[in-house]
Amino acid sequence: MSNELVVLSHLRWVFVWQRPQHLIARVGRHHDRTWFVEEPVIADVAEPTLRCEQHGTVDRVWLELPDGPVDPTFDARASDTYASLLPSLLGETSERTVWIDTPMALDLARALDPSVTSPPSTLRRAGAWCFPSGVEREH
């Protein structure tokens, strides 16, 4: 059994190296395994297919869908499909931290870890951290 970090992100790990990738790479050092789960993509596949590739200490994961919107997100369809396919990829673990980089992935986060709830005050009590995105209002 291991200690894992699962990040649900609207970013592509291989697109542009941004602050979230930098943070996740550093935080991931304190976990036995780090999974970076991206929003799905439309691909030439007959059925939804889960893909995975290693990038240093991070396992990049994405879902290929046969059809749908041009820019799919973690909508209900994708979240349900991810929720059915990811457990067999992730396997059993003694401790799993789910990091949500987009609110669209909240349903999937709840499917992977039922202790994930909202609003942010509840997440803080559960040991999760809510980080604001973008620039502070004072700027």
Tell me whether residue 131 is in a domain. no
pLDDT at residue 98 in the model: 87
Average pLDDT over residues 25-33: 88
Enclosing domain of residue 118: 3-125
Query: 28 vs 128, which has greater pLDDT?
Result: 28
Tell me whether residue 73 is in a domain. yes
Tell me whether residue 116 is in a domain. yes
Tell me whether residue 139 is in a domain. no
pLDDT at residue 43 in the model: 92
Tell me whether residue 27 is in a domain. yes
116: its two tokens: 């994930």
Which H/E stretch holds residue 6?
A: strand 3-9
Which H/E stretch holds residue 1?
A: none
Structural domain count of the chain: 1
Tell me whether residue 75 is in a domain. yes
Q: Please, how many CA atoms are within 13 Å of residue 137, restricted to the half-sphere of its CB?
A: 0
Tell me whether residue 42 is in a domain. yes
pLDDT at residue 69 in the model: 65
Q: Summarize pLDDT for 99-122 with one digit per residue, the tens.
A: 888 888 888 988 887 776 555 544
d(CA 12, CA 126): 28
Confidence of residue 131 (pLDDT cuts 50, 70, 90): low
Average pLDDT over residues 90-98: 82
Query: 103 vs 85, which has greater pLDDT?
Result: 85
Tell me whether residue 137 is in a domain. no
